[in-house]
Amino acid sequence: MGYHVLPSYTHYWCEDPDVSVPFISSVLTRNRFSQILSNVHVNDNKNLDKNDKLSKIRPLIAKANSQFAKLYDVRRVQSVDESMVLFKGRSSIKQYCPMKPIKRGYKLWVRADMDGYISKFDVYQGKNGKENQKWNGFGLGESVVCEMVEDLFGGGHEVYFDNFFNSVPLMDFLKEKKVSACGTIRSNRKGLPLLMKEKDLKKGEFDFRTAEDLAFFGWKDNRVVYVLSNFHGTDKCSVLRTQKDGSRMEVSCPMAIKDYNCNMGGVDKADMLCSLYGMDRKSRKWWHRLFFGIIDRMLVNSYVVHNKLEDKAIPLLLFRRLVAQHLLTAATPPQIGRPLATSRCNTPPNPPKRRKTDLSVSADIRLTARGVHWPIFDEKRGRCELAGLLSPGVLGVLAGLESPMHRGY
């Protein structure tokens, strides 16, 4: 349903040739799919944590993070950024981000590499979330970075993030934990030294200050970009910039800015792969959007790992098609209805009986009285095969119940 999108999921079982999808309807019935979708649960409602707004889906988040870290070696270079899952309904954790392509929805904190593999993620619950409670002395942005890179402490990894997260105390803290960090920073952050004014710098020029293990740069591109790093020196390099006439010109810049531009797009790469063939669907349950979003990210991670293991990379569409085909053909498709003979000469060797003499439920199950087979009276389908064994009063009570086994699912 992610790469073959129809207006409603009921159209996949429609008999009209312009919208029908026999590949799905021949494997699973519509009523069975609706029943599964309406009964999907991740956590037991009796064991929900009232202090955790994500308690309904917390086991899936924990399991996904565990598997992401277990099944893939974390690359040396990582990036931390925000991600959004579309949701326009009512929820206390819904966020509005006007600068993002998805402006309304659930905000995710994500750590990923440049291949788009998500190593760790969490859902933002608001100002009173667990990030602020665990890392005392840090604001929201700094707490998120500490939470995302906690398992990298002492590993010598490089982490990149933007100006929402960066600060001088955070850089000092990560340096103590042996984590190399670099990111853009707002010029009005506390603890930053003064640099040359923007009007005094020409395009390609930069000013910097160093103190102990920190380096603070102000580089003039179309405007001044400020970068703070705890492992870069004052080395220079050159980058290509497009001019107004379309020509390309080399411009000098600090090595810290070039490394930031080359290693900061991991989360954006993962979001792009999720958005291409996402299986997001409307639902009355608020957590279903997160459920579908997490499954999409599982598929993206699987796609990245698949291309790493294979000699030749395949397109994402082909990968998702292969996954869907293997999942749908894993079980033998059920036979819906009775076979029809095209002619009298082509009659099946064992034609179906016109009158049913054998019961579909064996006696050992039928006579146990454990609620395995619930007979019901259906006006469309006729009288139940075991209705004669029950009194009219019992049949009236059971008339409102539905049983997957009795319906033939």
Per-residue pLDDT of the chain (409 residues; tens, 9 = 90+): 899 999 888 899 998 988 989 888 888 899 999 999 889 999 998 889 888 899 999 999 999 999 999 989 889 999 999 999 999 888 889 999 888 888 999 999 999 999 999 999 999 998 765 655 677 788 899 999 999 999 999 988 999 999 999 999 999 999 999 999 999 999 999 999 999 888 888 888 899 999 888 999 999 988 899 999 999 988 889 888 888 888 888 888 999 999 999 999 999 999 999 999 998 778 888 999 999 999 999 999 999 999 999 888 999 999 999 999 888 876 544 444 444 444 344 444 455 555 555 555 555 555 554 444 555 555 555 555 544 444 444 444 444 444 444 444 3
Other beta carbons within 10 angstroms of residue 254's beta carbon come to 24
Q: What are phi and psi of 4, to 5 degrees?
A: -120, 85
Instruction: Judge if 17 and 158 occupy the same domain.
Output: no
Instruction: Judge if 81 and 33 occupy the same domain.
Output: no
Q: Report angle CA 304, 306, 308 to the nearest 5 degrees.
A: 70
Burial class (CB in 10 A: 0-12, 13-18, 19+), 142: buried
Instruction: Judge if 135 and 195 occupy the same domain.
Output: yes
Q: What pLDDT is attached to residue 138?
A: 87
Q: Which domain holds residue 34?
A: 1-39
Other beta carbons within 10 angstroms of residue 309's beta carbon come to 7
d(CA 188, CA 206): 18
Instruction: Judge if 30 and 2 occupy the same domain.
Output: yes
Instruction: Judge if 20 and 65 occupy the same domain.
Output: no
Q: Can you spell out the DSSP letters for 186-226? A: -TTSTTPPP---GGG--TT-EEEEEETTEEEEEEESSSEEE
Number of domains the chain is built from: 3
For residue 47, being part of any structural domain is answered with no
Instruction: Judge if 13 and 118 occupy the same domain.
Output: no
CB 316 within 8 A of CB 324: no
CA–CA distance from 409 to each of 27, 39, 243 (Å)?
11, 15, 65
Q: What pLDDT is attached to residue 352?
A: 53
For residue 88, being part of any structural domain is answered with yes
Q: What's the pTM? A: 0.77
Last residue of some domain: 322, 341, 374?
322
Query: Position 294: which residue type?
Result: I
For residue 45, being part of any structural domain is answered with no
d(CA 188, CA 198): 14
Phi/psi region, residue 94 (left: phi>0; alpha: psi -120 to 50; beta: rest), is beta
For residue 359, being part of any structural domain is answered with no
Write the DSSP symbol of residue 164.
Answer: T
For residue 185, being part of any structural domain is answered with yes
Instruction: Judge if 152 and 199 occupy the same domain.
Output: yes
Q: What pLDDT is attached to residue 146?
A: 94
Other beta carbons within 10 angstroms of residue 167's beta carbon come to 22
Instruction: Judge if 107 and 14 occupy the same domain.
Output: no
Instruction: Judge if 121 and 238 occupy the same domain.
Output: yes
Instruction: Judge if 24 and 108 occupy the same domain.
Output: no
For residue 227, being part of any structural domain is answered with yes
- Among candidate residues 114, 157, 151, the one with its CA nearest the CA of residue 304: 114
For residue 344, being part of any structural domain is answered with no
SS3 321: helix
Instruction: Judge if 58 and 21 occupy the same domain.
Output: no
Instruction: Judge if 103 and 32 occupy the same domain.
Output: no
Q: Can you spell out the DSSP letters for 87-101? A: --S--TTEEE-TTSS
For residue 179, being part of any structural domain is answered with yes
Q: What pLDDT is attached to residue 141?
A: 92
Sign of CA dihedral 129, 134, 140, 141: negative
